[in-house]
Structure 1
């Protein structure tokens, strides 16, 4: 009898709810935030952590050397449009004895859309004070802006490194006097962000093809800037080539690697370098990381009849 009574009451409750359309539960609010911007994988015995500094919308149809209409059509093939939301990536390399950061993002030089590097480093389980070396692919604003935090050195225990040609170019007050209006901000950003490290004796320039720390080699990749650098990270026969700004717009420049961008200091040299480096990476089958490829910006290149195909890395939990 008790079971029957409960069954009847349940049926009545369902009937009441069904007959009362005004009865509803409050909708869950939209969260409107993304997960912490880091992605981790192993390279031999090295731990690689891609870290996001954020994204920016860029008018790539007016920045690339290709016809604007053609650029928009090429983006449309990937269901993308302009402005194109573009990633700003940095990379942490834990060699077991050194913690190395490749590039620092734009910091607050581009408003509040970037500047998420330190927060995401912490979300990834590290602290800025643990970083031993900061390696810069070049000194453009979106790679050096994160060197400072609230006007002070963001990485107090780190030594900063860049190609000597790069710092000789962007830290030259004489060269800045003759710079175009478009490049003036690059000079100012390089001087203001790198200056405190130089004054503290924490900047060490290097010449091309130099081992910065064991397992991390710097290679000349001139063209985008005077001293642009590709860093090759190697452990147990596995390689990761961190190419900085050799490419900005994957859906266009993978298929048409001859396309350059307005930010290239020497467009002819930038194109030649990209063609050479892409060919080498595709033949080797080794990993590549790009500063402006969709986060985490890690994958491999496959040569095609037209250019290259980008093969992003799979998500992984194999971190042993």
Structure 2
């Protein structure tokens, strides 16, 4: 319980801090916390159906979490997007449906953040008639609590029929506590990785990969160390169409798109994480590739465009809701 309180306090504001944020001299519209319905947003990519599911949102104190920047710079970038600190950040998970496969990309936080802070993925899946036992594979972008937490409930595997694919460097790193002592990286990242992935390792349900490997039909995984040693992109190529699931190369669109040099305390190797982000943004903008990101505003699917000033703009997927003809 003490560990849970520590991680929640690192991620979210206390009531007193939330009240103090009202004094910020930033002109923004009302930002009231409201509960939304669970559910998903579906698109077609080649022969695959992709559904973005919400696991909920959590407030983030960017003053505490962001590095390589100042409060004034953060406030200026947020104000341009009619936002102020703290910022509500989405937790998205994605379902890839291919013949014989129902594949989740990430699983949200599960029980790790406590009631009211994420943990809605199973509820969201149920809105489309999908049960946890229907999932055949889980592609884990990296071993952090808000991506792996949904793998377990009360210490038991949630996705009982699923094989979990994760970058080998994350298993090597987080399952050796000596690495915490060597690097000073927060011990709770190690604790949560072992808690979430341990039952799958014990059941023989973990497959690892390094560099770039074909994991499933039409899907490759590529390790991009920085945020964690085994952080990965997953690329789906189907019938001439493509989408890349990018993991945590970005946490807050209003800040890190215009200034990709800004890093976050969750980065295990901050200079490398910034390098990965800059290179990825440049290539995604140049190629015009569609990406899916777990912390961009739901559904978190869209494109990146060069803004001509050393940064980038986020162009979300165009909303469509009608019967196909």
1:295 is the counterpart of 2:298: yes
**Could you tell me whether the CA contact under 8 Å between 1:255 and 1:308 is conserved in 2?**
yes
Give TM-score scaled by structure 2 length.
Answer: 0.85
User: Match for residue 96 of structure 2?
Assistant: 93
Asked which structure has the greater CA Rg, the reply is 1
Query: How far apart are the structure 2 equivalents of 1:200 and 1:167?
Result: 15
Query: How far apart are the structure 2 equivalents of 1:286 and 1:126?
Result: 28
User: Match for residue 35 of structure 1?
Assistant: 37
Q: Which runs of 4+ in 1 moved over 6 A?
A: none
User: Match for residue 239 of structure 1?
Assistant: 242
**Could you tell me whether the CA contact under 8 Å between 2:39 and 2:53 is conserved in 1?**
yes
Query: How far apart are the structure 2 equivalents of 1:60 and 1:226?
Result: 23
Q: CA deviation at 1:140?
A: 0.8
- For structure 1, which segment, 183-192 or 299-308, has the greater mean C-alpha deviation from structure 2 after superposition? 299-308
User: Match for residue 281 of structure 2?
Assistant: 278
User: Match for residue 315 of structure 1?
Assistant: 319
**Could you tell me whether the CA contact under 8 Å between 2:93 and 2:107 is conserved in 1?**
yes
Query: How far apart are the structure 2 equivalents of 1:230 and 1:183?
Result: 23
Unaligned runs of 5+ in 2: 1-33
**Could you tell me whether the CA contact under 8 Å between 1:299 and 1:313 is conserved in 2?**
yes
SS of alignment partner, residue 138 of structure 2? strand
Instruction: Provide closer, same or farther for how the CA distance between residues 100 and 318 of structure 1 changes in structure 2, counting only shifts above 3 A.
Output: farther
Report how many residues are paired. 288
**Could you tell me whether the CA contact under 8 Å between 2:155 and 2:199 is conserved in 1?**
no
SS of alignment partner, residue 264 of structure 2? coil
> 1:96-175, aligned counterparts within 5 Å?
96-112=99-115, 113-175=117-179
Aligned mate of 2:191, from 188, 191, 206:
188
The Cα RMSD (Å) is: 1.5
Query: How far apart are the structure 2 equivalents of 1:204 and 1:318?
Result: 39
SS of alignment partner, residue 265 of structure 2? coil
SS of alignment partner, residue 263 of structure 2? coil
Query: How far apart are the structure 2 equivalents of 1:266 and 1:318?
Result: 44
Give TM-score scaled by structure 1 length.
Answer: 0.87
Query: How far apart are the structure 1 equivalents of 2:109 and 2:80?
Result: 29
Query: How far apart are the structure 2 equivalents of 1:90 and 1:51?
Result: 5
Q: CA deviation at 1:211?
A: 1.1
The C-alpha deviation readout for 1:103-123, integer Å capped at 9, x for no partner, is: 111111111111101110111
Query: How far apart are the structure 2 equivalents of 1:108 and 1:274?
Result: 29
User: Match for residue 24 of structure 1?
Assistant: none
SS of alignment partner, residue 186 of structure 2? helix
**Could you tell me whether the CA contact under 8 Å between 2:92 and 2:295 is conserved in 1?**
yes
